[in-house]
Structure 1
Amino acid sequence: MPPVFSHGDLRLYLLSLLDEGPRHGYDLMQALSDRTGGTYTPSAGTVYPRLSKLEEEGLVTKTVDGRKTIYEITDAGRAEVAARAGDLEGIEAGLSDSVRLIAEGVRAGVREAMRSLQADLAAASASASSAPPASPASHPGDARSEAREQVRRAEALIAEFRADIRTDLRTHLAKGGDVAASVIDDLATALDDAAKAVRRATRG
């Protein structure tokens, strides 16, 4: 994924956040995560050097309140934010695009995985339904053995799907990503459809 902020954009965006009101460092990091839909969570090593630079430039000041250092924008900082309003609009638009693309990617991944699961379950159900009945000469346990094998296959497919989706979602979250409620709604709908297909096939 390309950088969320281009060169110099993070500096300006931090300044715009302080233009909304005084904040301490952790609050700024949390605000950046919230504003980017969880797609970007900066480290202290990224934020504090830029705050120090802004302070050197006279654009922010800092005061110590107990164990917290509060940063506040200066008049010069407000003037820069006002002068670069157009740049800020471009940054906001870029952040919106980044969040949208990541959400679409997660949604597409879930749908593709569900289509694959549904196809495998349908194939397993069709195989079980179309299997010829046991002939009188066949062992009565053959049919049940085949049925048990198909159940084991279905269980393995479901376990594999669960593990894959769980890994994908947790990896996405670990990278600072967000998961929209609509993605999980799509997952619930697809799972319900798959369950109905299996019930129809097994109940004749």
Structure 2
Amino acid sequence: MAPVFAHGQLRLYLLSLLESGPKHGYELITALSDRFGGTYRPSAGTIYPRLARLEEEGLVVRVDQERKSTYSLTDAGRAELAAREADLADLEEGIADTVRDRAASVRADVRGEMRGLRADLAAAAQQARATAVQHQPPAPTDAHAASHVRRTDAEAMLGRFRDELRADLRRADAGGKVEQLTVDTLRTVLDTALAAVRQTLR
């Protein structure tokens, strides 16, 4: 994908985000991610050097509070925003176009991923059925007891899946890395798996 911001545009947009009041660096990162619908999330290595540069230019002031630093506009920063009102309007229009383009690209990527996942799931299900036929155990004398054992095994597998995926999601969320693609992929995989398993229960 093409760069989100042209030279100097992120600097201007950070000033605009601070116009509503003081913010921590993480709040600015989150605000940018929200503005782009989750299709773009700048790293701390992108944001903090630019905030430091704005501070050097006298456009923002940093206030250190315990382990966090809050950034606020100075009078010079507000004057810069006022002088570049037209540039900011053009930037907002460009961001709207970028969000649409990135959303279309993500949708295309998701569709491609889903086709691949469905094919993989179908192949796995076919292999599982073939293996089950090859290794079919003798018919149990107590069908209900055998069914109960298999249900218990299935529920244990579901529990392990849930616990492992929940832990992975929480680790990713701590770093702000859970994207919409992750949610869309999980939804499609689970819907496909549910339909495939239900077929075996009829």
Provide the TM-score with structure 1 as the length reference: 0.60
Unaligned runs of at least 5 residues, structure 2: 138-153
- After TM superposition, the structure 1 = structure 2 runs for residues 24-173 of structure 1, keeping only pairs within 5 Å, are 24-36=24-36, 37=38, 39-43=40-44, 45-58=45-58, 60-64=59-63, 66-67=65-66, 68-72=69-73, 74-84=77-87, 85-102=89-106, 104-106=108-110, 108-122=112-126, 124-125=128-129, 127=130, 146-147=135-136
Note if contact 2:39-2:102 (Cα within 8 Å) is conserved in structure 1.
no
Distance in structure 1 (CA, Å) of the matches to 2:176 and 2:199: 35
Q: Which residue of 2 aligns with 1:9?
A: 9
Distance in structure 2 (CA, Å) of the matches to 1:93 and 1:70: 28
Note if contact 2:18-2:71 (Cα within 8 Å) is conserved in structure 1.
no
Note if contact 1:41-1:176 (Cα within 8 Å) is conserved in structure 2.
no
Distance in structure 1 (CA, Å) of the matches to 2:83 and 2:92: 11
Q: Which residue of 1 aligns with 2:150?
A: none
Note if contact 1:25-1:69 (Cα within 8 Å) is conserved in structure 2.
yes
Q: Which residue of 1 aligns with 2:187?
A: 185
Residues 87, 57 of structure 1: alpha-carbon distance in 2 compared, 3 angstrom cutoff: same
Residues 96, 176 of structure 1: alpha-carbon distance in 2 compared, 3 angstrom cutoff: farther
* Identity percentage of aligned residues: 34
Distance in structure 1 (CA, Å) of the matches to 2:5 and 2:178: 15
Distance in structure 2 (CA, Å) of the matches to 1:91 and 1:23: 21
Residues 92, 71 of structure 1: alpha-carbon distance in 2 compared, 3 angstrom cutoff: farther
- Aligned-partner SS, 1:62: strand
Amino acid at match of 2:60: T
Q: Based on CA coordinates, which of the two structures has the bigger radius of gyration?
A: 1
- Aligned-partner SS, 2:21: coil
Amino acid at match of 2:199: A
Note if contact 1:22-1:70 (Cα within 8 Å) is conserved in structure 2.
yes
Aligned residues: 169
Distance in structure 2 (CA, Å) of the matches to 1:122 and 1:7: 53
Residues 196, 118 of structure 1: alpha-carbon distance in 2 compared, 3 angstrom cutoff: farther
Provide the TM-score with structure 2 as the length reference: 0.61
Residues 99, 71 of structure 1: alpha-carbon distance in 2 compared, 3 angstrom cutoff: farther
Distance in structure 1 (CA, Å) of the matches to 2:177 and 2:123: 32
Distance in structure 1 (CA, Å) of the matches to 2:136 and 2:180: 38
**1:99-145 Cα shifts (integer Å, max 9, x gaps):** 452354245314421332124423653x579x7xxxxxxxxxxxxx6
Unaligned runs of at least 5 residues, structure 1: 132-144, 149-154
RMSD: 3.9
Relative contact order, CA 8 A, sep 6+: which one is greater? 1
1:190 to partner: Cα distance: 0.7
